[in-house]
């Protein structure tokens, strides 16, 4: 079983368009959407949720009003201003440090585990799909990403699937690192803009640090041939193969509007290039 992570370093490069197309092209695989902050692969895969699980992470203080004597000690030590004047907790300000619970002379403060999101195992017409939804304002430390990757890997082993295909989050932080750990290949999808090049460079540094083989795709390459040239030059300097250049193609936009992958929507320049990219990856 091989694991492939599709990443971009920044949002909006067309990473999910490429990953969604792989869902239509790859035969024995499980798809995983690790962009748990702003998941969108489900818009193309149309999952039927089979399992739904709570994701618990972090703690929030809770004050027992019956025990509280309003001495104010807890509020005086809370650096986050999370304890209101009526001695209730402002949920989104509480960082869960638990200091107040140790300070309270009445033992009136307990720490409660947060339900920080949900994760799902679904069926799709393309095979199994593991995905998640992080709660509003919940911290994305990478734990939820690690959880759904573990579930996807177990599923692939159980069903003897050939690939785990990961739609990675943007950026270079903990969720990206959690998406990359132990993968066999990272496919960087970028766009020919200054920020596309800058963020691709950053994420490639992270991938290189973990000794993961990298391949790169330039999406909408023909919109800025000069910048595409700079990206190719940079890749050459690192010996990173550029395995595809997808031209800007309105068919892709039409496919997205219809909620389907460009592979299924129509044969066009973009779909042919993505097929070539998948061949190369295999």
Reading the block at residue 93, the tokens are 């300000």
Nearer to ligand SF4, 49 or 67 (CB): 67
End-to-end CA distance of the chain: 12
Q: Is residue 256 involved in binding ligand SF4 (CB under 6 A)?
A: no
Please tell me the distance from the alpha carbon of residue 239 to that of residue 236, in angstroms, as a whole number.
5
Q: Based on CB atoms, which residue is closest to ligand SF4, 57 or 179? A: 57
CA dist., res. 194 & res. 54, Å (int): 40
Binding mask 32-71 for ligand SF4 (x = CB under 6 A): -----------------------------x-x----xxxx
| Min CB(58)–ligand SF4 separation in Å | 10
* Shortest distance (Å) from residue 86 CB to ligand SF4: 10
Q: Going by DSSP bridges, is the β-strand pair 127-134/185-190 parallel, antiparallel, or unpaired?
A: unpaired
**CB closer to ligand SF4, 11 vs 135:** 135
DSSP code, position 70: -
Question: Residue 13's closest CA among 230, 220, 180?
Answer: 220
Residue 89 CB, shortest distance to ligand SF4, in Å, is 5
Is residue 24 within 8 A of residue 186, CB to CB? The reply is no
How many positions of this chain bind ligand SF4 (CB under 6 A)?
26
| Torsional sign, CA 238, 276, 17, 159 | negative
Hunting for tokens 């969108």 — which residue is that? 40
* 39/63 with CB nearer ligand SF4: 63
Q: Are 183 and 5 in contact (CB under 8 A)?
A: yes
Q: Per CB under 6 A, which of residues 75..114 are in contact with ligand SF4?
A: 78, 80, 82-83, 87, 89, 94-100, 104, 106, 108-109
Shortest distance (Å) from residue 237 CB to ligand SF4: 47
The site for ligand SF4 (CB under 6 A) is made up of 61, 63, 68-74, 78, 80, 82-83, 87, 89, 94-100, 104, 106, 108-109
């Amino acid at each position: 079983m091989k694991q492939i992570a599709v990443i971009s370093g920044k949002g909006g490069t067309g990473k999910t368009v490429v990953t969604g197309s792989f869902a239509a092209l790859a035969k024995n695989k499980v798809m995983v959407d690790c962009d748990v902050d702003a998941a969108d692969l489900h818009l193309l895969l149309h999952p039927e949720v089979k399992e739904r699980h709570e994701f618990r992470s972090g703690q929030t203080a809770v004050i027992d009003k019956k025990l509280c004597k309003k001495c104010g000690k807890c509020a005086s030590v809370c650096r986050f201003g999370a304890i209101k004047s009526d001695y209730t907790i402002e949920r989104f300000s509480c960082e869960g440090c638990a200091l107040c619970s140790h300070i309270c002379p009445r033992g009136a403060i307990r720490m409660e585990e947060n339900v920080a999101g949900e994760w799902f195992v679904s069926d799709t017409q393309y095979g199994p799909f593991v995905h998640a939804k992080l709660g509003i304002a919940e911290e994305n430390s990478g734990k939820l990403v690690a959880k759904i990757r573990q579930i996807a890997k177990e599923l692939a082993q159980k069903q003897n699937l050939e690939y785990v295909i990961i739609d990675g989050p943007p950026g270079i932080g903990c969720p990206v690192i959690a998406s990359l750990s132990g993968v066999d290949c990272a496919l960087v999808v970028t766009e020919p803009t200054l920020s596309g090049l800058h963020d691709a460079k950053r994420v490639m540094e992270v991938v290189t640090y973990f000794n993961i083989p990298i391949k790169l795709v330039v999406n909408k390459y023909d919109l800025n041939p000069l910048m595409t040239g700079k990206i190719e030059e940079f890749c050459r300097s690192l010996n990173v193969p550029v395995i595809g250049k997808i031209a800007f193609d309105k068919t892709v936009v039409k496919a997205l509007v219809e909620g389907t992958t460009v592979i299924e929507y129509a044969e066009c320049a973009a779909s042919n290039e993505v097929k070539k990219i998948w061949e190369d990856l295999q």
